[in-house]
Structure 1
Amino acid sequence: MFRQRKLHAGQLRYHDFSKLREARESQKQLLPSLQVKTCPNFVHIHSPLQQIHTSSLASLSSLNSMSTRSFFTSSLSKKLSTFRLKQLERTANQNPTNASLQYEFLSELIHTYPEAVIHRFEKYPEFALDERCALLYFGALQRTSSMDKFDIKTFMRRVQTQNVSMDPLKIQSLVDLDTKSVKNRSTIATQVMQILSGNVPGVTSGAIAGGALSSGVFHHPRGADPKHPLHVQMQTPQSGRMALLTLAKQVLIAFVVVSAITAVVDEKGLGGRAMGMSNKHVQEAEGSDVRFEDVKGVAEAKAELEEIVEYLKNPEKFTRLGGKLPRGLLLTGPPGTGKTLLAKAIAGEANVPFFFSSGSQFEEVYVGLGAKRVRELFEAAKKKSPAIIFIDEIDAVGGTRKLKDQSALKMTLNELLVQMDGFDENNGVIVIGATNFAEALDEALLRPGRFDKHVTVPLPDVGGRKEILEMYAKKTKIAKDVDLSVLARGTVGFSGADLYNLMNQAALKASTDGLNSITMSVLEYAKDKIMMGAERKTAVITPKTAKVTAFHEAGHALVAVLSEGASPIHKATIMPRGSALGMVTMLPDGDQTSQSLKEMLAFMDVAMGGRVAEELIFGPENVTSGASSDIMNATRTARAMVTKYGFSDKVGIVFHGGNTGEESASGATRAMIDSEVQKLTQDSYQRAKDLLMKYSKEHHLLAETLLEYETLTGDEVRDIIHKRKKPNRPIVNREGGARGDRSVLNDKSNNSEPPKSKFPFPGKVGSRRDNTSS
């Protein structure tokens, strides 16, 4: 029975909706008879309620919720409204006992089809009911002008059925309502509404929740008098198309306006602190705390820049004889050597405006923007001359011009060329550029009159490295035993930035280990970590591998100590680090700008010492591939001696180009070069073999000590070889040099004692690598 009623309710919605649509269309004929008064927001229709047909008033009163013009067309709005009504009705029918869902459906239905609200309320008692639904029922009666048809008995039967969630006191008040003395049904309906609307959430006295009905609507329907006008929406058949065109036009106008404003705001004036703007492509330094005394290791470059600062402070001193300082100063050199730091020192020393920018900040997506920024930069500097302009990474804007380049890419460089040396004089403005690629700059930029003075900022020498280390050491706590000169000798090729990184790594290591100061061992650890990589303390090393490595490195160390012309040994270790299982480090007394024949031969002998040691201790058949880098270094040195340095009597004092020295040599000459290179390496191999055979006891003692202590200093190596004296400190490794978790390996390789001679090499070919650095 319930299913049949539910299906009947579903059939009702289509039947009633179609009839109501037809009735609504018939009301259009009534609109010309209405008095219409327009205002900026609404269209008011004034007509006496008595002159309007009841159904027509109900139809027109449904328009009172339309206060703005819809973006969609009328037909699309109807389709969307009908779709929502169907969804709400389906949900309400599926949940007949849920009064809230019934209210949501009725509150949406009353705007368009108030007759259906009355029908559903009176004919289908199986749907739940509360005060809000009842008030919507009265609102529908008012919209259809059916208040005089209200039947209190029918309403009470509906209220007293099941699925009614109303206040019992209100129901009792309805039962006690005196209806016999009142003959007007509209008055009875008003009294019932006043009882129901009391204490309903969101509903005031005489009002329906959700805005469906208010007390004013009951007494003054929309369109009944001028105070309650009827809101009418005027639509045209092409309103949707026109709305889309209008929206597209507004979006296009907004895009153009925003783009124009962005360009103007970005490029208006010079920007930065000097002009009171916020642009970043040009900035003026204020109060730099860096001075020339803070720049170490580049004394020559510093002297050149001190001359520039002095000229800016006292120009008459240099111009009294008619001379002029260069307009452009180019700083070149490897990365990290302090070019930008020198520029900061200029800003700190000079009491003149200092403008700084980067080459990449001139270029952007807008054509001609780079040239405009260059003009603004020089105009600002001219206004405050004497002044300095510093352009970092100038190769980004001053690269060599090519015919195939776009004209927009050349405009910035052309403007820079004109500003530096064109028709207008730029007296008092000095341009300082910094780059790592001076060879990439355009020739017109490097000619006299522009960047006609070049200052090379090289890597610091051993004295400069010591000064830099001392400067950084003042900013931290260094132990008393630290010898920064030894550290400076061992950091050949380090720039100022590398040395700062070394001190920073050492400070972090000391803090991690809980030390009160930075010790020499910590500094050595930081240096080796930067040069060779971190220690592989968890690497799995078997006793066999450790023994091969120990005798290999001991061979290097012994030949280095006993060969005349070899650099002093700094450290020997079999601790795995990076891709190396061990290494012997040799430090020269200072920076070597050249090498003698004796030093080159000694270097080759030391390189061959590791290979010779493996052959003597373990036999020719057990020699490993770990000496590949040693052989490469020895061969490279020998070929350079023959082809570049003229140290071969057969080839003669001749220079041969190319990496191998055979670039333009004939076939016979190439064969002669190869023969001489082979002879030099073979002689070096024999000299190393003679030394190791003569000092075999010292070789064995040094290798055994390496297995026990893993790392030996240069003094400890020399004591072992010359005095046969081991270090006076605790032994580090008592497992024959083995380390790591070897449980994953073969038991025999873990537990068996390796033979003292004829030792087989375990592992795959090329698994062990050795580096000898100097």
Structure 2
Amino acid sequence: MIRNDRRLLRSSTRYMPFLGLRRPYEPIRMPSTSTGFTHTQIVQKRPFLSAAFAAVRDAPLKALEKAANADPGNSMKQLNFLQALTDRYPAAAVRRFESPGYNYCENAFREYVRACELSGAEVKNFKPPAGVAAAGEAAAVNAAAGMRGVEGAQYAHATPQQYAQYGGLGGGGGAGSTNGTSSSRPLYVSLGEGGGWKTQAWKTGRILAVTFIFVTAFGAMLDSQGLGSRLPGSKDSSVQQSTSSDKRFKDVVGVDEAKNELEEIVDYLREPGKFTKLGGKLPRGVLLTGPPGTGKTLLAKAIAGEAGVPFFYCSGSGFEEVYVGVGARRVRDLFESAKKKSPCIIFIDEIDAIGGSRNLKDQSAMKMTLNEMLVQMDGFESNSGIIVIGATNFKQSLDAALTRPGRFDKIVNVPLPDVQGRKQILELYGKDTKLDEKVDISILARGTPGFSGAELYNLVNQAAVKASVEGLESITHEILEWAKDKILMGAERKSAVITAETAKCTAYHEAGHALCAILVDGADPVHKATIMPRGQALGLVAQLPEGDQTSRSYKQMLAMIDVAMGGRVAEELIFGPENITSGASSDLQQATRVARAMVTKYGFSREIGYVFHSGDNGEEQSSEATRIKIDEEVKKILDDSYARVTALLKDNAKQHKRLANALLEWETLTGDECRDIVKNNRKPSRAKENHRGGAKGDTSILGGLGGVGVAAAARAE
């Protein structure tokens, strides 16, 4: 066997600029020994993950090659490259030296002989460059003197002619060139492992260490970005572990009907045998539907708290991730955890995120998650003792297979609280705050129609914060009204710069709305009128119904259109048709929406008939002729309203002017103050808020610029 196996391992080249693609096994031939046998060492390549390290390690070598190729006639550059190549890849150095077109010196020939020794290649029989032959023969002998072992000793005592006989310089071929050509001169082949186990263990250890460092650093980076928990197989945090809810039914007010329907769930979880002894089974799932903020989640927690069972909470959007199959796996994990805690409650908030109606265009991941949910709720295996409660704002969007009996058997509607429910909710939240003794909860409840439980909590909380900022000892009714107005109309923009002319135009516009709301039969009462900028509006008139409105009459809808038209008509009458502004765009939009709904949805047009037209605009499925008639009917309703409001404001011009001037002076008027000004000619008794004709802020920065309708406003005075 050849004794330089480790050196051969190091010479298995990765840097092969002359061979192109690397073969998995590369035979390396060594000169024959005195026995006449030729040993061929086959080195097995083990790439592992060392390609990246080899690229960095070979960078200097590539730089030397680039310099040598750029100047093939420079023997010094060729020598430098050949020396570096021999140290690392001797087989490649041999091929480099044997390639034509490069100028080599005597030392380069020595490197060639050394490369042949290291790689086991034959020293080819060719004539060195002129002036190098004699020195080359001596170099061959000197290089051979460095060889180890028996072969090295033989070469060390050989003459140049004898050296050539073994495949070296000058020889015409000898024994070394005929091995393997006949049975009398066989070619022996041995398979080398390319190094001992220690070398391989060292390489493997280095690779594992570097990989561990890289994975650790990558994981730390993901954790710092909050993405670590989203990797496949990582610990799932989208589902909260079972907890004991501290909520009770006494904490849920304003939804008595929904609470009563859920009491039987509590009885079942407390005493399952009471229901099963007669063969009855409780619904496996309960679906809570209704607008946002009505207390669906609170109801589910109250059920778990009353029954004293574990409570699992998760969000519908928390199941899905970027990886396919994660959602289905999380559903399985959720139900497996629930089975261990049975009896228990699983609450899935916003279940429409995964339970929407399926269609062919849906992604496969979404279908997998929903299918897994269907199987877990009512599949082959029974989930006795697990109550699934889902909550959604869009029941109509759920898949029919999810809402069928056997899965979500009971559907409980949780509506917005009525006036009695709002009073109960305000009283509940008022217990945790310090309300003034003069606060009348009933008045506040009547003045917040359409508010959900969450909005009522926000109202009380904002009032408490405002009272604390102002240093009050308790929350007064005025602070509660301020909080309500902020929710209804937006926050005041007291720092806005408003000129007197702009304020005057806004005041007459809002006074037109308020006057119509006061005088038109069927209109909702005025809650407040203001020219204080709030949100995106320079002014507004807020109306609140006297009670909870479940439906609207024909007269009420016409009144809504008349009130919306009041602002545009007021501008035209006061400032002239040429000075009307774009401030009435939202009013016209509202009036048009109501008029179109009257024609297409409610059957209030005899010309169109008692027909319901579907779609957002109410005419998607209608013929072209019907659409034309619908547009004509809508325009007729709006034109009639404009004419009625014009006549109304002309007949009450003095009241209109008084109301506008009061807005300029007090900026904000309550509904009662507006009615006193219009009907009793009585101004507010409190101090005026503005003494600049409605102007606000530092108007000097506007220079000589005026607002819209300056001359017309002056004539109106």
Q: Same fold (TM over 0.5)?
A: yes
Preserved contact between residue 622 and residue 758 of structure 1 (Cα < 8 Å): no
Corresponding residue of 1:432: 389
After superposition, residues 573-722 of structure 1 pair within 5 angstroms as: 573-722=530-679
Q: Which structure has the bigger radius of gyration?
A: 1
CA gap 1:349/1:559 in 2 versus in 1, 3 angstroms: same
Corresponding residue of 1:327: 284
CA gap 1:252/1:401 in 2 versus in 1, 3 angstroms: farther
Q: CA deviation at 1:367?
A: 7.2
Q: CA deviation at 1:576?
A: 0.8
Q: What is the DSSP-based 3-state SS (H/G/I as helix, E as strand, rest coil) of the residue aligned with 1:678?
A: helix
Corresponding residue of 2:262: 305
Q: What is the DSSP-based 3-state SS (H/G/I as helix, E as strand, rest coil) of the residue aligned with 1:613?
A: helix
- 1:405 & 1:651 partners in 2: Cα distance? 39
Corresponding residue of 1:742: 699
Q: Which runs of 5+ in 1 are unaligned?
A: 1-71, 80-235, 260-265, 272-277, 761-774
- 1:568 & 1:622 partners in 2: Cα distance? 30
- 2:621 & 2:371 partners in 1: Cα distance? 42
What amino acid sits opposite 1:340 in the alignment?
A: T
Corresponding residue of 1:131: none
CA gap 1:445/1:255 in 2 versus in 1, 3 angstroms: farther
What amino acid sits opposite 2:532 in the alignment?
A: M
Q: How many residues align?
A: 517
- 1:616 & 1:646 partners in 2: Cα distance? 34
After superposition, residues 110-125 of structure 1 pair within 5 angstroms as: none
Q: Does 1:516 align with 2:461?
A: no
Q: What is the DSSP-based 3-state SS (H/G/I as helix, E as strand, rest coil) of the residue aligned with 1:433?
A: strand
The one of 297, 304, 307 equivalent to 1:350 is: 307
What amino acid sits opposite 2:401 in the alignment?
A: A
Corresponding residue of 1:122: none
Corresponding residue of 1:92: none
Q: 1:129-152 CA distances to partner (integer Å, 9 max, x unpaired)?
A: xxxxxxxxxxxxxxxxxxxxxxxx
- 1:731 & 1:249 partners in 2: Cα distance? 81
What amino acid sits opposite 1:656 in the alignment?
A: H
Q: CA deviation at 1:742?
A: 0.7
Preserved contact between residue 544 and residue 754 of structure 1 (Cα < 8 Å): no
- 2:244 & 2:197 partners in 1: Cα distance? 67
Corresponding residue of 2:190: none
Corresponding residue of 1:247: 206
Q: What is the DSSP-based 3-state SS (H/G/I as helix, E as strand, rest coil) of the residue aligned with 2:506?
A: helix
Corresponding residue of 2:425: 468
Q: 1:242-278 CA distances to partner (integer Å, 9 max, x unpaired)?
A: 855531145558999999xxxxxx99xx99xxxxxx9
CA gap 1:240/1:291 in 2 versus in 1, 3 angstroms: same
After superposition, residues 532-547 of structure 1 pair within 5 angstroms as: 532-547=489-504
Q: CA deviation at 1:749?
A: 4.6
Q: Which runs of 5+ in 2 are unaligned?
A: 1-52, 61-194, 219-228
User: TM-score if structure 2 supplies the norm length?
Assistant: 0.64
What amino acid sits opposite 1:558 in the alignment?
A: L
CA gap 1:379/1:716 in 2 versus in 1, 3 angstroms: same
Q: 1:594-619 CA distances to partner (integer Å, 9 max, x unpaired)?
A: 11111111112211222222222222
The one of 407, 412, 420 equivalent to 1:450 is: 407
Q: What is the DSSP-based 3-state SS (H/G/I as helix, E as strand, rest coil) of the residue aligned with 2:388?
A: strand
CA gap 1:675/1:400 in 2 versus in 1, 3 angstroms: closer
Q: What is the DSSP-based 3-state SS (H/G/I as helix, E as strand, rest coil) of the residue aligned with 1:455?
A: strand
Corresponding residue of 1:416: 373
Q: CA deviation at 1:728?
A: 0.9
Q: CA deviation at 1:383?
A: 4.7
CA gap 1:671/1:360 in 2 versus in 1, 3 angstroms: closer
Q: What is the DSSP-based 3-state SS (H/G/I as helix, E as strand, rest coil) of the residue aligned with 2:312?
A: strand
Q: CA deviation at 1:397?
A: 4.7
After superposition, residues 90-105 of structure 1 pair within 5 angstroms as: none
What amino acid sits opposite 1:246 in the alignment?
A: G
Q: What is the DSSP-based 3-state SS (H/G/I as helix, E as strand, rest coil) of the residue aligned with 1:572?
A: strand
Preserved contact between residue 596 and residue 617 of structure 2 (Cα < 8 Å): yes
Preserved contact between residue 244 and residue 310 of structure 2 (Cα < 8 Å): no
Preserved contact between residue 311 and residue 317 of structure 1 (Cα < 8 Å): yes
- 2:403 & 2:331 partners in 1: Cα distance? 18
After superposition, residues 543-582 of structure 1 pair within 5 angstroms as: 543-582=500-539
Q: CA deviation at 1:511?
A: 1.5
What amino acid sits opposite 2:689 in the alignment?
A: V
Preserved contact between residue 507 and residue 518 of structure 1 (Cα < 8 Å): yes
- 1:646 & 1:408 partners in 2: Cα distance? 44
Which one is further off, 407-416 or 676-685?
407-416
After superposition, residues 67-86 of structure 1 pair within 5 angstroms as: none
Which one is further off, 633-642 or 526-535?
526-535
Corresponding residue of 1:479: 436
- 1:362 & 1:669 partners in 2: Cα distance? 47
CA gap 1:472/1:239 in 2 versus in 1, 3 angstroms: same
- 1:378 & 1:292 partners in 2: Cα distance? 26
Preserved contact between residue 507 and residue 661 of structure 2 (Cα < 8 Å): yes
Query: Between the two proteins, what is the percent identity of the paired residues?
Result: 65
Q: CA deviation at 1:622?
A: 2.3
CA gap 1:252/1:501 in 2 versus in 1, 3 angstroms: same
Preserved contact between residue 575 and residue 712 of structure 2 (Cα < 8 Å): no
CA gap 1:416/1:599 in 2 versus in 1, 3 angstroms: closer
- 1:565 & 1:246 partners in 2: Cα distance? 87
User: TM-score if structure 1 supplies the norm length?
Assistant: 0.60
CA gap 1:389/1:313 in 2 versus in 1, 3 angstroms: same
- 1:597 & 1:364 partners in 2: Cα distance? 50
CA gap 1:406/1:250 in 2 versus in 1, 3 angstroms: farther
Q: What is the DSSP-based 3-state SS (H/G/I as helix, E as strand, rest coil) of the residue aligned with 1:524?
A: helix
Q: CA deviation at 1:592?
A: 1.8
Preserved contact between residue 504 and residue 713 of structure 2 (Cα < 8 Å): no
Corresponding residue of 2:297: 340
Q: CA deviation at 1:431?
A: 1.8
Q: CA deviation at 1:716?
A: 0.9
Q: What is the DSSP-based 3-state SS (H/G/I as helix, E as strand, rest coil) of the residue aligned with 2:391?
A: strand
Preserved contact between residue 553 and residue 582 of structure 1 (Cα < 8 Å): yes
Q: What is the DSSP-based 3-state SS (H/G/I as helix, E as strand, rest coil) of the residue aligned with 1:744?
A: helix
- 2:631 & 2:363 partners in 1: Cα distance? 51
- 1:556 & 1:256 partners in 2: Cα distance? 67
- 1:404 & 1:390 partners in 2: Cα distance? 28
- 1:452 & 1:715 partners in 2: Cα distance? 50
Which one is further off, 608-617 or 711-720?
608-617
Preserved contact between residue 591 and residue 638 of structure 2 (Cα < 8 Å): yes
What amino acid sits opposite 1:564 in the alignment?
A: D
Q: CA deviation at 1:349?
A: 0.5
Preserved contact between residue 463 and residue 479 of structure 2 (Cα < 8 Å): yes
CA gap 1:323/1:499 in 2 versus in 1, 3 angstroms: same
Preserved contact between residue 604 and residue 637 of structure 1 (Cα < 8 Å): yes
- 1:666 & 1:401 partners in 2: Cα distance? 31
After superposition, residues 377-396 of structure 1 pair within 5 angstroms as: 377-396=334-353
Preserved contact between residue 311 and residue 344 of structure 2 (Cα < 8 Å): yes
Q: CA deviation at 1:377?
A: 4.2
Which one is further off, 482-491 or 705-714?
482-491
Q: What is the DSSP-based 3-state SS (H/G/I as helix, E as strand, rest coil) of the residue aligned with 2:527?
A: strand
The one of 494, 499, 502 equivalent to 2:459 is: 502
